[in-house]
Structure 1
Amino acid sequence: MIVNLVVLLACQLAGEVAARGLGLPVPGPVIGMALLFAALIMRPALAERIAPTTSALLAHLSLLFVPAGVGVVGHLDTLGQHGVALIAALLLSTVAAIMAGVYVFLLVARLTGASE
């Protein structure tokens, strides 16, 4: 299992090094995931080897959300005082982001001459 974790972390490290070293606009973990995908395609035995480790990691993925839950519980008084404003800001910013995406899509479609 340790070797499998080293393989996963080495791919992430390689992605981070590539992203920062080459100044790429893609996050390092995404590049690392692409490298891992390429390695799994080139060596199917590697996929079989790391499958139990990755399954165990995915089974316990919810543990990553514990710090966020603790933060929410720790600031319940703030949520009680400003809950309505926080929900309104969350909803409005979500709608604004979606609308911005729509307008950018329409602008790009118009600039590229894509038909409706």
Structure 2
Amino acid sequence: MIGGLTILLLCQLAGEMLARLLHLPIPGPVIGMALLFAGLLLRDRLRPGSTRPDPGMPGLGQVADGLLSHLGLMFIPAGVAVVVYGPHLAREWAPMSLAIVIGTLGTIALTGRIAQALMRRAG
């Protein structure tokens, strides 16, 4: 389990370092998550057909399950921000609402297009 937590933290650290060194507009944890995803894809490509747990990434599943079981705690900072910035949110409700609606619709449309392309590709 310590190994899995170490992998997650190292991926986040690498993402933060890349974001700061290259002055990227993407948050470091997002880059770290992409690095972790790429690492998992490479791991599976290097060991095709294997169903046993990878000794190179021990405990990653356990750490992920532990984080998911406490996912509700991740929303506490967002709730505090709503309370603290309530007056600002009340003043700027229209542009924020428009951004949320457009972003949601765009995400749904893009997800649908990607799903169609993948289903066509799969046969």
Q: Normalised by the size of structure 1, how large is the TM-score?
A: 0.59
* More helix per residue: 1
SS state at 1:26 partner: coil
* Alpha-carbon distance between aligned partners in 2 of 1:14 and 1:66, rounded to the nearest angstrom: 26
The number of residue pairs the alignment matches comes to 92
Structure 1 residues not aligned, in runs of 5+: 102-116
Runs of 4+ in 1 over 6 A off after TM superposition: 70-73
Q: Partner letter of residue 56 of structure 1?
A: G
Q: Which of 1 and 2 has higher RCO (CA within 8 Å, sep 6+)?
A: 2
% same residue: 49
Query: Pairwise CA RMSD of aligned residues?
Result: 3.3
Q: Normalised by the size of structure 2, how large is the TM-score?
A: 0.56
Matches within 5 A, 1:57-72: 57-69=67-79
Residue number in structure 2 paired with 1:16: 16
Residue number in structure 1 paired with 2:99: 97
* Alpha-carbon distance between aligned partners in 1 of 2:73 and 2:17, rounded to the nearest angstrom: 27
CA contact (8 A) 1:40 1:47 kept: no
Structure 2 residues not aligned, in runs of 5+: 45-53, 104-123
Structure with larger Rg: 1
Residue number in structure 2 paired with 1:108: none
Q: Partner letter of residue 17 of structure 1?
A: M
